[in-house]
């Protein structure tokens, strides 16, 4: 279990650690192949829930749970799951709804939060480039709060491959950047971004790459009236996704 705390250990074992009631419940409910669940000796309800789905349950003492978990104050339940299979770009592009691309997003908390937001907004899926944080990283898994098991995620894709797949599916690519050519609200109101948009959000430190700008059909800026220089990457992803969805609803009501 301790070996699963590192990327190397996860790759070697072909498994990753899921920690906390919400994430473990999502894994069990989704039908994911949960290998084993670890619960505290005193927790009868979790043991029954896992056993009812045919999952092996191991009861452990609190000090053992503390040693296995990645958090300082574990919530009493851990699960081991096989590494998730990356969805294909084509399968995500063919699903309804906007798509979120995370380019070189290295902060695990931001990656997990962005996945959770995409799930909440009803996105078609999330695409994570090769140099982003590992989606099986413990912080990513916890930040998704179970959304990791709800929607398709493609990993390791290049910007060129994403661009080709998007255009083959008649989707446009919009890059969120501070110096975009068009204001987000204007882009939504005019209909140049919408249900089929592929939104690309760049790294925390450097923003989107020059290659992403070249491949994009549109560069969009999130208007800021305060003195802040920039937005957190996960916050930027949430804003563009929700403003896009709001624009769709407004458009439908006006018809």
CATH number at residue 75: 3.30.1330.30
142 and 248 belong to one structural domain: yes
pLDDT digits (tens, 9 = 90+) for 45-82: 877 888 888 899 999 999 999 999 999 888 889 999 99
Are residues 118 and 125 in contact, defined by beta-carbon separation less than 8 angstroms? yes
75 and 96 belong to one structural domain: no
- Which of 47, 82, 117 is the last residue in one of the domains? 82
pLDDT of residue 252: 45
94 and 193 belong to one structural domain: yes
Number of structural domains (the chain) is 2
pLDDT of residue 249: 59
Domain of 42, in residue numbers: 2-82
Q: What's the pLDDT band for 250 if we cut at 50, 70, 90?
A: low
CA distance 212 to 183: 18
7 and 112 belong to one structural domain: no
61 and 95 belong to one structural domain: no
20 and 57 belong to one structural domain: yes
45 and 168 belong to one structural domain: no
- Please say whether the dihedral angle defined by the alpha carbons of residues 189, 193, 196 and 197, taken in this order, is positive or negative: negative
Percent of the residues in the chain that have a pLDDT greater than 90, as a whole number: 74
Residue 197, both tokens: 């948009």
CA distance 15 to 83: 5
Q: Decide: pTM greater than 0.75.
A: yes
19 and 122 belong to one structural domain: no
The CATH number of residue 248's host domain is 3.40.1280.10
Q: What's the pLDDT band for 206 if we cut at 50, 70, 90?
A: confident
106 and 230 belong to one structural domain: yes
171 and 248 belong to one structural domain: yes
- Which of 33, 51, 82 is the last residue in one of the domains? 82
pLDDT of residue 89: 97
134 and 235 belong to one structural domain: yes
Are residues 66 and 74 in contact, defined by beta-carbon separation less than 8 angstroms? yes
Cβ neighbours for 161, distance < 8 A, ≥ 6 positions apart: 89
- Which of 60, 82, 104 is the last residue in one of the domains? 82
């Amino acid at each position: 279990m301790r070996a699963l705390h590192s990327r190397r250990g996860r790759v070697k074992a072909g498994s990753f650690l899921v920690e906390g009631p919400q994430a473990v419940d999502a894994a069990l409910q989704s039908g994911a192949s949960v290998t084993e669940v670890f619960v505290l000796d005193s927790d009868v309800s979790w043991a029954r829930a896992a056993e009812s789905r045919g999952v092996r349950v191991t009861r452990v003492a609190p000090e053992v749970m503390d040693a296995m978990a990645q958090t300082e104050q574990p919530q009493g339940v851990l699960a081991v799951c096989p590494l998730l299979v990356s969805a294909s770009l084509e399968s995500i592009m063919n699903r309804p709804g906007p798509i979120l691309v995370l380019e070189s997003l290295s902060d695990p908390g931001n990656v997990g939060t962005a996945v959770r937001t995409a799930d909440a907004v009803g996105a078609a899926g999330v695409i994570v480039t090769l140099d982003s944080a590992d989606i099986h990283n413990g912080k990513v898994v916890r930040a998704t709060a179970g959304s990791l098991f709800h929607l398709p995620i493609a990993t390791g894709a290049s910007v060129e491959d994403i661009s080709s797949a998007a255009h083959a599916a008649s989707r446009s690519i919009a890059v969120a950047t501070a110096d975009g050519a068009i204001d987000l609200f204007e882009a939504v109101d005019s209909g140049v971004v919408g249900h089929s948009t592929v939104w690309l959000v760049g790294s925390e430190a450097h923003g989107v790459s020059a290659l992403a700008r070249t491949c994009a059909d549109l560069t969009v800026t999130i208007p800021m009236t305060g003195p802040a220089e920039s937005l957190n990457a996960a916050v930027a992803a949430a804003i563009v996704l929700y403003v896009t969805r709001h624009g769709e609803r407004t458009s439908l009501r006006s018809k």
